[in-house]
Chain A
Amino acid sequence: MGKIEDLEVINGEGYQLTTLDKAVALARSNSVWPLPFATSCCGIEFMATMGSMYDLSRFGMERMSFTPRQSDLLIVAGTISKKLGPVLQKVYEQMAEPKWVLSVGACASSGGIFDTYSVLQGIDRIIPVDVYVPGCPPRPEQIIDGVMNIHRLVKHESMRRRYSQEYRHLLSEYKIEVTNAENDK
């Protein structure tokens, strides 16, 4: 976690060089501000993950952000009904780039046992998901594992990825407007 040895560095006498990309990614990956979007029992497991026993703040995630505008990671934990779908998409749209999504549990990932007319069959139908955590509900260790996989993604993401054509294409598939469109390179 966050060791400078993980990066490609040039060591000299009294200094250490790396690329800005990697330094920024390292900083980002260890200061992720999550937004918990918890609707059911997965949310209870997530609360345990935040609590002192499992202590998610060990990973630089002390601050839960309850506004999407100040958060980097959307943690969707629980069943999302079709009526709630547009709300979740709006929350995702309000987050500033760069942003990541962690889908916690069977319901958020695939609809789970709720194969019924009223439940969204996986949040990846309305927003792009970076990491899926299986389980019904998953144990806190699994949620921590999912979060650490998010950290890995963040640490290896290029600074330009969010401006890329591929990323814009991905969001257009979800009919989500791309912010920073004028910076497109």
Chain B
Amino acid sequence: MQKMTNSELSQAIYALFGERIALSEELYDTLVIEVAPKDAYEIIEQLKQDPALSFNFLTLLGGVHYPEMEGRELCVVYHLHSWKNALRLRVKAYLPAEQPSIKSVTSLFETANWMERETYDFFGINFEGHPNLTRILNMDEMDYHPMLKQHPLEDATREDKDDRFFGR
């Protein structure tokens, strides 16, 4: 079978979506595209259903926090895999820190269920239409989203650490 290359994939994606792809680049041999959050669901759906591309597998869904990027602090990253073409694709959608909200892809990929819960747990991103958007890894009583960079990584209640010995 003729293997599809990243440049062929890039052309195919531009032919399909054109203006709706904000940015595309190749990083570590993988094509990365950026889309608007409101388009993300539809584009992923088409990437999955298109017979030539057939991105039928969601490898990973996760979040990133960029506190310095005003208005687009939070990022949802989808790692898609096309088994047919043996090709991977990363789709990124940037969200504002106030009320970060994006449509859930659980109706396309069942596996997104727990991954979206995890992303909600750690970044507080609201996935609209998720069947059960509750914490999954952290304890239920936790009242913040620990991967947001304004929160300290270390446990605030630990008493045996003297800051002087840690260069602080």
Q: Which residues of A does B touch, CB under 8 Å?
A: 81-83, 85, 110-111, 115-119, 121
Contact = CB atoms under 8 A, between A and B. Distances in A.
Contacts of B152: 117
B157 interface: yes
B151 to A, nearest CB: 7
A115 B155 contact: yes
B139 A82 contact: yes
Contacts of A81: 139
A121 B158 contact: yes
Interface string B131-168: 00000011100100010000111110110110000000
Q: Is the interface of B mostly helix, strand, loop or mixed?
A: loop
Contact of B157 (A83, A85, A121): A121
Nearest to A81: B139
B158 A117 contact: no
A85 B142 CA distance: 13
Interface of B: 137-139, 142, 146, 151-155, 157-158, 160-161
A111 B155 contact: yes
Contact of A118 (B138, B157, B158, B160): B138
27 contacts: A82-B138, A82-B142, A83-B137, A83-B138, A83-B139, A85-B139, A110-B160, A111-B155, A111-B158, A115-B154, A115-B155, A115-B158, A115-B161, A116-B155, A117-B138, A117-B142, A117-B151, A117-B153, A117-B154, A117-B155, A118-B137, A118-B138, A118-B139, A118-B146, A119-B155, A121-B155, A121-B157
Nearest to A119: B155
Q: Is the interface of A mostly helix, strand, loop or mixed?
A: loop
Please provide the 8 A-B residue pairs with the shortest distance between their CB atoms, ordered closest to farther.
Answer: A83-B139, A117-B146, A121-B158, A115-B154, A82-B139, A121-B155, A115-B158, A115-B155
Contacts of A121: 155, 157-158
A118 B147 CA distance: 11
Contacts of B161: 115
Given A111-B155, A116-B155, 11 more contacts: A81-B139, A82-B138, A85-B139, A110-B160, A115-B154, A115-B158, A116-B154, A117-B153, A118-B137, A118-B138, A118-B139
Contacts of A111: 155, 158
A116 B153 contact: yes
A85 B155 CA distance: 15
A162 B158 CA distance: 30
A83 B139 CA distance: 5
A37 to B, nearest CB: 18
Interface centre among A85, A111, A118 (most CB of B within 10 A): A118
Nearest to B146: A117
A121 B158 CA distance: 6
A82 B158 CA distance: 13
